[in-house]
A and B are shown apart, each in its own frame.
Chain A
Amino acid sequence: MQVNQHTTIHVKVRPACALIILLIGTLLLVVGLIVSIAIDTTAIKLHTIWEAIFHYKSGILQYQIVRNLRLPRALASALVGACFAIAGAIMQGMTRNPLASPGLLGVNAGAAFALAICLAFYPSLSFQYLIIFSFVGATFSSGLVYGIGSIAKGGLTPVRLALAGVAVSSLLTAFSSEISIYYHIAQDIAFWHAGGVVGANWSQIKIMLPWVTGGMIGAFILSRSITVMSLGEDIATGLGQRIMLVKLAGSIIVLVLAGTAVSVVGPVGFVGLVIPHIVRILVGVNYRWIIPCSAVCGSLLMVWADIGSRVINYPFETPVGALIAIIGVPFFLYLARKERREL
């Protein structure tokens, strides 16, 4: 043990570990995507998948299934998983609170609130519009959280952000449960939340893609600043970080990523909570590694959970959020017990 070299550096960083995660993770992700496309009510051969993607002919039924149903679903779960995980990593880094998740910015509650309103008053709205309104709801509530958090003297401290998030979330949740009790739409909402990526199609992915790409690029650019922020605000200020700017940028990225993801699949928030923790334990506190690794691991978890949701109770689908918790919880418990670490 080179104790002497490490006495002053409390933060461990393991780039090698991160590289391995990235490599193996990407590999497993590709396998997962293929499996996700191949299995379902009708099994499809690998060769057919290849042909359907690269030599598409519109007349063949199996090609159409691959192209129009399976591929968008697989891609959507990968994207959504990555979004939640990156958003969670940024939230935990910025607020230095292990309880922080994208939901803390009010994203989930806002989207659910908008959804409850839509289902109660405009039940005939199409799926596409529901997504857009959910996103509007998410934006509204995170704007509220951010605004109220930063009005006060002394600006937006992590604790204040977290508290404002909890308060706004519970307010909006209170409204949406009242709406759902009053209009008897609790079951519809439960189905939507349990639905996952079932109805994903290309037009959704087209809506998602620019936002998600932008958000991810932003996250990578911001990663260095977030590492510094995660050392504490005083240190960050001392190191010449423009804290307010980083926080604003971070919050916008979280909103874009998590808001998009929530609107499409509902609050599968556990991905955003658990993946960053696991990754941080494995690679150490450097967000340059945490963010890409979280993205890969989040996608991985989501894609395989989606596969599982189709296989476990065949031919019915199990709620993907439940499955993620079932996969994630034991692993998370194990890690939480194994190591005591800094945030």
Chain B
Amino acid sequence: MNSLSHLEKKKKIRYMVTICIFLCLIFTTFLLSMDAGLIHLSPIDVLKVLVNHGTSQQELILFDFRLPRIVISLLVGSGLAVSGAILQGITRNSLADPGILGINVGAGLVVVLFISFFSSMQVVPVFALPFAALMGAVLTATLIYILTYKKGQGLSPMRMILIGIAVASGIEAALIVLTIHLDPRQLQFVTIWLAGSIWGTNWNFVLTLLPWILILMPLAFSKARVLNILNLYEDVSKGLGMAIEKERLILLGIAVGLAGSCVAVGGNMGFVGLIGPHLARKLVGPKHQFLLPASALSGSLLLIVADTLARLIVQPSEIPTGILVSIIGAPYFLYLLAKSKA
């Protein structure tokens, strides 16, 4: 008994350390990220602006361009990673990510439709894009839910995964057909969107995204215990007296809300949702009380680092952040994978 509580304590310390390291790294990157961009600002300039002693040009750059973008990447990263953690928990499948709910492809399809619809116009109304994307994401998730639901049996995770694959493949097929008919300029735009790039870069987008995160994230954290139980075998959780169906539906709703709103603003960054929770799990273990906050931070860190690099490597054109997420995240993930014990 003593050794068990000792073990528990050790895990807790490990968790605290991980969280602290994450926070430090995020803060450092945050400072670096403020400096990076087409117009370089030194850290001292940044500090000056922050304490209200900068030039108006520096203020404009920092407060109206860089800061909102940084905040958005933090929010999007945490939202997607927590969404992924929830989905991996309720489906008990380590390959699950927001993509299995068709969120990415659903949003992508609507974006492509949107662009081909407005092809006659010179300027695509970019500001309306997040809403279109969110609509696509939510519609797809709803479709998958309706198809999965069966009277008397409710939602089986296995069936949800299979239906998710099928719906996503159908939408992907439609995407292939549609992209062939786009003209090269539009296709370039769509390719960049699908590769994932932070869209919203002003405070309005932050304000749109913030309520989702602020409401859904604490809700998710409060369900950590439920997720632990759902992650066990279904019969066990039933035996423990849980209203599985209801809980699963709530959690699913949280996951869709988080991922949908994040994809809408941040573009297609599915990989954060897959890899964020895995990184966190490798570091703090499978207990959701630890896992969810750690996932949120790892997702944020991943995205802010990728976004900073995306702005550093601006020549000749900015690389979509989603691509950098994969390029940074995948090797580290593979390293962890190779190092881990069975």
| Cα separation A152 to B179 with both chains bound (whole Å) | 41
Contact partners of A323 in chain B: CB under 8 A? 173
Say yes or no: is A181 at the interface (Cβ < 8 Å to chain B). yes
Among A159, A163, A178, max chain B CB count under 10 A is at A163
Chain B 138-173, CB-CB to A under 8 Å as 1, else 0, gives 000000000110100100101101110111011011
| Cα separation A336 to B174 with both chains bound (whole Å) | 21
Q: Are B337 and A152 touching (Cβ within 8 A)?
A: yes
Say yes or no: is A55 at the interface (Cβ < 8 Å to chain B). no
Say yes or no: is A174 at the interface (Cβ < 8 Å to chain B). yes
Contact partners of B340 in chain A: CB under 8 A? 152-153, 160
Say yes or no: is A294 at the interface (Cβ < 8 Å to chain B). no
Give the Cβ gap from A83 to chain B, nearest Cβ, in Å.
18
Chain B 197-232, CB-CB to A under 8 Å as 1, else 0, gives 000000000000000000000000000000000000
Give the Cβ gap from B284 to chain A, nearest Cβ, in Å.
17
Contact partners of B334 in chain A: CB under 8 A? 148, 164, 167-168, 171
Q: Are B341 and A274 touching (Cβ within 8 A)?
A: no
Chain B 105-147, CB-CB to A under 8 Å as 1, else 0, gives 0000000000000000000000000000000000000000001
Contact partners of B194 in chain A: CB under 8 A? 177
Near A by CB (< 8 A), chain B positions 285-342 give 317, 319-320, 322-327, 329-331, 333-334, 337-342
Among B147, B156, B320, B338, max chain A CB count under 10 A is at B338
Contacts known (A167-B337, A168-B330); A321 close to B173, Cβ less than 8 A: yes
Say yes or no: is A99 at the interface (Cβ < 8 Å to chain B). yes
Contact partners of B322 in chain A: CB under 8 A? 174
Near B by CB (< 8 A), chain A positions 296-343 give 318-319, 321-326, 328-329, 332-333, 336-337, 340
Give the Cβ gap from B10 to chain A, nearest Cβ, in Å.
21
Contacts known (A173-B326, A174-B330); A166 close to B192, Cβ less than 8 A: no
Say yes or no: is B187 at the interface (Cβ < 8 Å to chain A). yes
Say yes or no: is A7 at the interface (Cβ < 8 Å to chain B). no
Which of B95, B191, B320 contacts A166, CB < 8 Å?
A: B95
Label chain B's interface by main secondary structure. helix
Near B by CB (< 8 A), chain A positions 172-199 give 173-175, 177-178, 180-182, 184, 186-187, 190-191, 193-194
Which of B173, B179, B275 contacts A325, CB < 8 Å?
A: B173
Contact partners of A274 in chain B: CB under 8 A? 166, 169
Contact partners of B148 in chain A: CB under 8 A? 337
Contact partners of B333 in chain A: CB under 8 A? 163, 167
Which of A98, A178, A324, A333 contacts B323, CB < 8 Å?
A: A178
Which of A149, A162, A329 contacts B166, CB < 8 Å?
A: A329
Give the Cβ gap from B329 to chain A, nearest Cβ, in Å.
8
Contact partners of B325 in chain A: CB under 8 A? 174
Q: Are B173 and A98 touching (Cβ within 8 A)?
A: no
Contact partners of B324 in chain A: CB under 8 A? 174
Q: Are B188 and A326 touching (Cβ within 8 A)?
A: no
Chain A 91-135, CB-CB to B under 8 Å as 1, else 0, gives 000000111000000000000000000000000000000000000
Give the Cβ gap from B89 to chain A, nearest Cβ, in Å.
15
| Cα separation A233 to B153 with both chains bound (whole Å) | 29
Give the Cβ gap from B5 to chain A, nearest Cβ, in Å.
28
Contacts known (A162-B94, A167-B333); A98 close to B177, Cβ less than 8 A: no
Say yes or no: is A270 at the interface (Cβ < 8 Å to chain B). yes
Which of B165, B192, B330, B337 contacts A160, CB < 8 Å?
A: B337
Which of A170, A186, A194 contacts B191, CB < 8 Å?
A: A186
Contact partners of B158 in chain A: CB under 8 A? 98, 340
Give the Cβ gap from A329 to chain B, nearest Cβ, in Å.
4
Q: Are B169 and A328 touching (Cβ within 8 A)?
A: yes
| Cα separation A18 to B194 with both chains bound (whole Å) | 41
Contacts known (A174-B326, A273-B165, A336-B159); A99 close to B95, Cβ less than 8 A: yes
Q: Are A332 and B166 touching (Cβ within 8 A)?
A: yes
Contacts known (A167-B330, A186-B191); A191 close to B323, Cβ less than 8 A: no
Give the Cβ gap from B101 to chain A, nearest Cβ, in Å.
13
Instruction: List 7 A–B pairs whose Cβ atoms lie within 8 Å, in order of A's numbering.
Output: A170-B326, A174-B325, A323-B173, A325-B170, A328-B169, A329-B173, A332-B165
